[in-house]
A and B are shown apart, each in its own frame.
Chain A
Amino acid sequence: MSVPDYMQCAEDHQTLLVVVQPVGIVSEENFFRIYKRICSVSQISVRDSQRVLYIRYRHHYPPENNEWGDFQTHRKVVGLITITDCFSAKDWPQTFEKFHVQKEIYGSTLYDSRLFVFGLQGEIAEQARTDVAFYPNYEDCQMVEKRIEDFIESLFIVLESKRLDRATDKSGDKIPLLCVPFEKKDFVGLDTDSRHYKKRCQGRMRKHVGDLCLQAGMLQDSLVHYHMSVELLRSVNDFLWLGAALEGLCSASVIYHYPGGTGGKSGARRFQGSALSAEAANRHRPGALTTSGINPDTSTEIGRAKNCLSPEDIIDKYKEAISYYSKYKNAGVIELEACIKAVRVLAIQKRSMEASEFLQNAVYINLRQLSEEEKIQRYSILSELYELIGFHRKSAFFKRVAAMQCVAPSIAEPGWRACYKLLLETLPGYSLSLDPKDFSRGTHRGWAAVQMRLLHELVYASRRMGNPALSVRHLSFLLQTMLDFLSDQEKKDVTQSLENYTSKCPGTMEPIALPGGLTLPPVPFTKLPIVRHVKLLNLPASLRPHKMKSLLGQNMSTKSPFIYSPIIAHNRGEERSKKIDFQWVQGDVCEVQLMVYNPMPFELRVENMGLLTSGVEFESLPAALSLPAESGLYPVTLVGVPQTTGTITVNGYHTTVFGVFSDCLLDDLPGIKTSGSTVEVIPALPRLQISTSLPRSAHSLQPSSGDEISTNVSVQLYNGESQQLIIKLENIGMEPLEKLEVTSKVLTTKDGISVSGFPLSSPFRQVVRPRVEGKPVNPPESSKAGDCSHVKTLEAVLNFKYSGGPGHTEGYYRNLSLGLHVEVEPSVFFTRVSTLPASSTRQCHLLLDVFNSTEHELTVSTRNSEVLILHAGECQRMAIQVDKFNFESFPESPGEKGQFANPKQLEEERREARGLEIHSKLGIRWRIPSLKRSGEASVEGLLNQLVLEHLQLAPLQWDVLVDGQPCDREVAAACQVGNPVRLEVRLTNRSPRSVGPFALTVVPFQDHQNGVHNYDLHDTVSFVGSSTFYLDAVQPSSQSACLGALLFLYTGDFFLHIRFHEDSTSKELPPSWFCLPSVHVRAVEVQA
């Protein structure tokens, strides 16, 4: 016997073996249909007793195993059922013949046999035969089960007769020696009369009867027989049979103790009848005993409880039996099966350690050279048994060996499918699930070396199965979960083969369903590359949307009437934690920055990397990147365009690496840092692009400026120089521009430079060209300090606020800022300023010391004076004759200035205005011919109070008219000798109060041009009327005049000195207010 039945279990000892086989050509489908029905009749309660018969059906049984039927009767084929097709009466004899041939095979042991004929009808079928049953077809055969029951009953009758026959063998009769096939030759020529031999015959026969009793449902009897047999055989050292007797004892005890069975699957089925079997056997024992006819004394001596082994004893006896079996090489199958049966018993007893010892022993039993299929079966069953005793790793180990056996090189047609299936079954044993999520939390905890091996094998098996998608999935899983354990070379190899597979079958995110019901979840490559940080980026400053201020209040207060409520605060806090407080704009490219790194020892090419979003229709613009080997953190920006508005959530990203598509969700990534992933998308807005006539500069404004400047221009200017800047705004967005607001802001600079405002023009055109004039002015302190060579900077910001389209209706706008950076180099300085009175009271001379601080030759010109040339670093004085200024007329002009209540500020304003006035009057310009640059120079800053007073027109304006001609020149007024000359003194009061009355005396004199003034002119000049004039009080801003007349008696040049009477002048008024022009009169002869 060489073919072990790995499915054997202890309770099989009580079964009758019936072989069911097809004869002739019977389709497998039909055969198994009938076979199944036959198998359903597995236990029969015998009609006239309470005993139960158990039947074991086999459709295949090696006849050589049948030869061991005497050794253990459950191995003996006692029944044969043949199934055949026969459609015509003509074939019938032939069919029947075949049946007989089939019977011959097991002929020696058969108790009875049956032939089931399907298809035959007619007179042959009419005949009633016990051994043949006819059925018209495979459907119409309700009587099959009944037939089988009858058949089993007939088997029982034979069995019972045999049992009785053997049991009642008189001791006088010669008991035949039962033996196993390989023993036969050993007993040739043995003394059959020896006591020893007889005992051996008796012992073996007892054992045989025990077997029969067990099969016949007489458990207690069998125990008795086995016990006796053990005694007999032990005394003659018949070890093989002693082993069998012990095993019989064990089997019977197991059946008694474990009515549920030890065989696992079949156990449930058996269970229904099992209660009955144990109970019934006990209850009916006395009756059974009497019918059995065994020597009554033995059965009474050995009590029931004694007969049956305790659970512990069962194992001991099994051990003993196996040790006896192991003495015989030819009994390997028996030993192996005994081991398996013992393991099943131990599994029930939950004694895993001992079970493992039995199994270990079974592993070492070498039968003969096994066929590949037998090896697979052997390993599978070992695996199952290890599983049974809870040794999952060992089970997995053997299952894997079995799987490998399926595809051993010696097999012509490797069973890759079976191999793959078996490998999948080993997964739990290696604590490996195929769901990458189980590995994503924390570090990998598992036996990487063996798990990796298994994954490699799965990959290979699935490839050989012709399922590349499966290989890709397994390989991806290997790469994803075992990355930390792969050596650099392995990483290369794995990725290489992955790329090979994916070139034919790209990896997807679809779960793969396996035929066995297992589903392989997708494997996203969250480690290729590893993402450490995800940050949603705000739009660039120039594109950032802002909410109109007026609308801001709306969405804040509508929700609740309370200003503060802890509940609301809590909710908001929660929202805020996820939602980022900036907005994206529909239709505009939005960015998400990922910090990634490549854990691979080679360059990693990531293709088709894009964002996975929800909430808003989003057009992702995938990027391809190449990360250098084992890169550090590497920023990657993923972009996309939201197509609709609402709240967008960035859930993750997708990649294609090595041909595998991955959707990596942020929630599944361990150790990722994210500052929120939800952002609001607002409706589309127009988009302006700015370009300027000046080149852009990298120079950014001081960080303290607070504004985010999108564009910067920078220019270098000399102090006083102007530069025109043309700004072109272009709407490059899809939405119309509906509103544009331009504002400017000068940032206070460290150097205290002030600038005149930007004149801006036409803000309501699509393209505006404001003229910007930066006009830095000399700071006052620079005249004192020596830092005049110091370059100063000026910074200013131009803001374009614009909106349009749907975003405008929602109340959003954008702000575009242009930063201006001006470096101001010094040009000319006025180091000193002073005044000299001019000949006219309405004028004076301004003396300026001009210093050229540039390195170039420079010309300075005023509105009406000649050009002054200054060499580099040269200082010259220039005198400018200026009309005096009437400051009082304008200081209040800008209405808003009135707001300043502070008189100091008011004074400051006034002073500034005066400066401007003076500046524009003077119109001092400089020019650097070599550079072709020119600009203005201003004296504003350095005009001190004294100079200002000198430059100022007195509020009381005195005019002297000679003959109706105003007389305030060098030029002399001409008059005729002998004719009275009208002299009029006119006072205009521009001061805010009334002045006067005044008394004036006109004193004529002659200037001899040698320093001598001749006042003694009584003979030459005569007054018509009084020489003293009186002026009444003059109200503010009104005029008053007094008239007189002079008569020149001789020709000559005369000067009139108009003097105030001491007593009439108001003491409180400053003397400069009473500055009257001197009058020059030339008296000539009357031309006749």
Chain B
Amino acid sequence: MAVCVAVIAKENYPLYIRSTPTENELKFHYMVHTSLDVVDEKISAMGKALVDQRELYLGLLYPTEDYKMFRKLHNSYTDVMCNPFYNPGDRIQSRAFDNMVTSMMIPVC
């Protein structure tokens, strides 16, 4: 189960962000925003190391996450990008994507 799912554009702004406890959304915004430092770092490290460019999964920010979750999310994101009516850089408003995120947020048990 995920608490917050965010898709961030390469210019570092959210294309999509959703969190389950809706009352303190800003907290998650801050959390995701600050964690981008780590993402930046990982990406720049990747460039140096010349690792397999096809591997898009950067790793864990926190050790509780699920690798499969990323695949699912990324596949759905790819679908969004394939939509000819979607403007790259716009906020994601796809219902399918939204449903997928919701399914990720529902407790597994």
- Complex: A445 Cα to B11 Cα, angstroms: 7
* Interface-central residue, B12, B17, B25, B90, by most chain A CB under 10 Å: B12
Residue pair B41, A397 in contact (C-beta under 8 Å): no
With known contacts A449-B25, A449-B29, A353–B42 Cβ distance under 8 A: yes
Residue pair A390, B41 in contact (C-beta under 8 Å): yes
- Complex: A445 Cα to B14 Cα, angstroms: 9
Residue pair B41, A391 in contact (C-beta under 8 Å): yes
Q: Which of A386, A430, A443 is within 8 Å of B37, CB to CB?
A: A386
Residue pair A392, B37 in contact (C-beta under 8 Å): yes
Among B22-36, those with CB < 8 Å from A are 25-26, 29-30, 33-34, 36
- Determine if B100 is an interface residue (Cβ-Cβ < 8 Å): no
| Beyond known contacts A447-B29, A453-B26, A453-B29: 9 more, CB 8 A cutoff | A393-B33, A393-B37, A394-B37, A397-B34, A446-B12, A447-B14, A449-B14, A449-B17, A450-B29
- Determine if B89 is an interface residue (Cβ-Cβ < 8 Å): yes
Residue pair B45, A353 in contact (C-beta under 8 Å): yes
Among A368-408, those with CB < 8 Å from B are 386, 390-394, 397
- Minimal Cβ-Cβ distance residue in A for B36: A393
- Determine if A352 is an interface residue (Cβ-Cβ < 8 Å): yes
The size bracket of the interface on B is 20 to 34
In angstroms, how far is the closest chain B Cβ from the Cβ of A569? 40
- Determine if A502 is an interface residue (Cβ-Cβ < 8 Å): no
B70 contacts across to A, CB distance below 8 A: none
- Determine if A274 is an interface residue (Cβ-Cβ < 8 Å): no
- Minimal Cβ-Cβ distance residue in B for A395: B37
- Minimal Cβ-Cβ distance residue in B for A430: B33
A430 contacts across to B, CB distance below 8 A: 33
- Determine if A519 is an interface residue (Cβ-Cβ < 8 Å): no
In angstroms, how far is the closest chain B Cβ from the Cβ of A565? 46
A453 contacts across to B, CB distance below 8 A: 26, 29
B9 contacts across to A, CB distance below 8 A: 445
- Complex: A453 Cα to B30 Cα, angstroms: 10
Would you call the interface of chain B mostly helix, strand, loop, or mixed? Answer: helix
Residue pair B41, A450 in contact (C-beta under 8 Å): no
- Complex: A880 Cα to B108 Cα, angstroms: 115
With known contacts A352-B41, A449-B26, A394–B11 Cβ distance under 8 A: no
A394 contacts across to B, CB distance below 8 A: 34, 37
In angstroms, how far is the closest chain A Cβ from the Cβ of B57? 16
- Determine if A612 is an interface residue (Cβ-Cβ < 8 Å): no
- Determine if A84 is an interface residue (Cβ-Cβ < 8 Å): no
Q: Which of B25, B30, B38, B90 is within 8 Å of A397, CB to CB?
A: B30
- Complex: A392 Cα to B11 Cα, angstroms: 14
Residue pair A393, B34 in contact (C-beta under 8 Å): yes
With known contacts A394-B34, A397-B33, A397-B34, A448–B41 Cβ distance under 8 A: no
- Complex: A353 Cα to B33 Cα, angstroms: 16
In angstroms, how far is the closest chain A Cβ from the Cβ of B94? 18
- Complex: A443 Cα to B9 Cα, angstroms: 14
Nearest 6 pairs between A and B by C-beta?
Answer: A391-B37, A449-B29, A394-B34, A397-B34, A393-B34, A447-B13
- Determine if A356 is an interface residue (Cβ-Cβ < 8 Å): yes
- Determine if A761 is an interface residue (Cβ-Cβ < 8 Å): no
B33 contacts across to A, CB distance below 8 A: 393, 397, 430, 447, 450
A443 contacts across to B, CB distance below 8 A: 89-90
- Minimal Cβ-Cβ distance residue in B for A356: B38
- Complex: A446 Cα to B33 Cα, angstroms: 11
- Minimal Cβ-Cβ distance residue in B for A442: B89
In angstroms, how far is the closest chain A Cβ from the Cβ of B39? 10
Among A391-449, those with CB < 8 Å from B are 391-394, 397, 430-431, 443, 445-449
Among A614-668, those with CB < 8 Å from B are none
In angstroms, how far is the closest chain B Cβ from the Cβ of A404? 12
- Complex: A430 Cα to B42 Cα, angstroms: 19
- Complex: A448 Cα to B13 Cα, angstroms: 8
- Complex: A976 Cα to B30 Cα, angstroms: 142
In angstroms, how far is the closest chain A Cβ from the Cβ of B103? 24
- Minimal Cβ-Cβ distance residue in B for A353: B41
In angstroms, how far is the closest chain B Cβ from the Cβ of A486? 15
A353 contacts across to B, CB distance below 8 A: 38, 41-42, 45
- Complex: A300 Cα to B89 Cα, angstroms: 65
- Minimal Cβ-Cβ distance residue in B for A391: B37
- Minimal Cβ-Cβ distance residue in B for A355: B41
In angstroms, how far is the closest chain B Cβ from the Cβ of A389? 8
- Complex: A71 Cα to B11 Cα, angstroms: 49
Residue pair B12, A447 in contact (C-beta under 8 Å): yes
B14 contacts across to A, CB distance below 8 A: 447, 449
- Complex: A391 Cα to B40 Cα, angstroms: 9
B37 contacts across to A, CB distance below 8 A: 356, 386, 390-394
A445 contacts across to B, CB distance below 8 A: 9, 11, 13, 89
B40 contacts across to A, CB distance below 8 A: 390
In angstroms, how far is the closest chain A Cβ from the Cβ of B11? 5
Residue pair B11, A450 in contact (C-beta under 8 Å): no
- Complex: A69 Cα to B45 Cα, angstroms: 41
- Complex: A394 Cα to B41 Cα, angstroms: 12
A393 contacts across to B, CB distance below 8 A: 33-34, 36-37
B41 contacts across to A, CB distance below 8 A: 352-353, 356, 390-391
A352 contacts across to B, CB distance below 8 A: 41
- Complex: A453 Cα to B41 Cα, angstroms: 26
- Minimal Cβ-Cβ distance residue in A for B87: A443
Q: Which of B12, B26, B90 is within 8 Å of A431, CB to CB?
A: B12
In angstroms, how far is the closest chain B Cβ from the Cβ of A245? 32
- Complex: A836 Cα to B45 Cα, angstroms: 120
- Complex: A445 Cα to B90 Cα, angstroms: 9
- Complex: A446 Cα to B12 Cα, angstroms: 7
B25 contacts across to A, CB distance below 8 A: 449
A448 contacts across to B, CB distance below 8 A: 13
- Minimal Cβ-Cβ distance residue in A for B37: A391
Q: List 6 A-B contacts (CB under 8 A).
A: A393-B37, A394-B37, A397-B34, A443-B90, A447-B14, A449-B17
Q: Which of A356, A397, A446 is within 8 Å of B13, CB to CB?
A: A446
* Interface-central residue, A353, A397, A450, by most chain B CB under 10 Å: A450
B45 contacts across to A, CB distance below 8 A: 353
- Complex: A446 Cα to B9 Cα, angstroms: 9
- Complex: A397 Cα to B28 Cα, angstroms: 13
- Complex: A453 Cα to B29 Cα, angstroms: 11
A449 contacts across to B, CB distance below 8 A: 14, 17, 25-26, 29
In angstroms, how far is the closest chain A Cβ from the Cβ of B8? 9
B38 contacts across to A, CB distance below 8 A: 353, 356, 391
- Complex: A391 Cα to B41 Cα, angstroms: 8
- Minimal Cβ-Cβ distance residue in B for A352: B41
- Complex: A448 Cα to B26 Cα, angstroms: 11
In angstroms, how far is the closest chain B Cβ from the Cβ of A402? 14
In angstroms, how far is the closest chain B Cβ from the Cβ of A641? 45
- Complex: A144 Cα to B83 Cα, angstroms: 76
In angstroms, how far is the closest chain A Cβ from the Cβ of B50? 17
A392 contacts across to B, CB distance below 8 A: 37
- Complex: A393 Cα to B13 Cα, angstroms: 12
In angstroms, how far is the closest chain A Cβ from the Cβ of B87? 9
B36 contacts across to A, CB distance below 8 A: 393
- Complex: A23 Cα to B43 Cα, angstroms: 56
In angstroms, how far is the closest chain A Cβ from the Cβ of B9? 7
- Complex: A397 Cα to B41 Cα, angstroms: 17
Residue pair B42, A450 in contact (C-beta under 8 Å): no
In angstroms, how far is the closest chain A Cβ from the Cβ of B52? 19
In angstroms, how far is the closest chain A Cβ from the Cβ of B93? 14
Among A281-308, those with CB < 8 Å from B are none
- Complex: A613 Cα to B26 Cα, angstroms: 45
B42 contacts across to A, CB distance below 8 A: 353
In angstroms, how far is the closest chain B Cβ from the Cβ of A397? 5
- Complex: A667 Cα to B51 Cα, angstroms: 46
- Complex: A392 Cα to B17 Cα, angstroms: 21
- Complex: A394 Cα to B40 Cα, angstroms: 12
- Minimal Cβ-Cβ distance residue in A for B25: A449
- Minimal Cβ-Cβ distance residue in A for B39: A393
In angstroms, how far is the closest chain B Cβ from the Cβ of A932? 74
- Complex: A449 Cα to B22 Cα, angstroms: 14
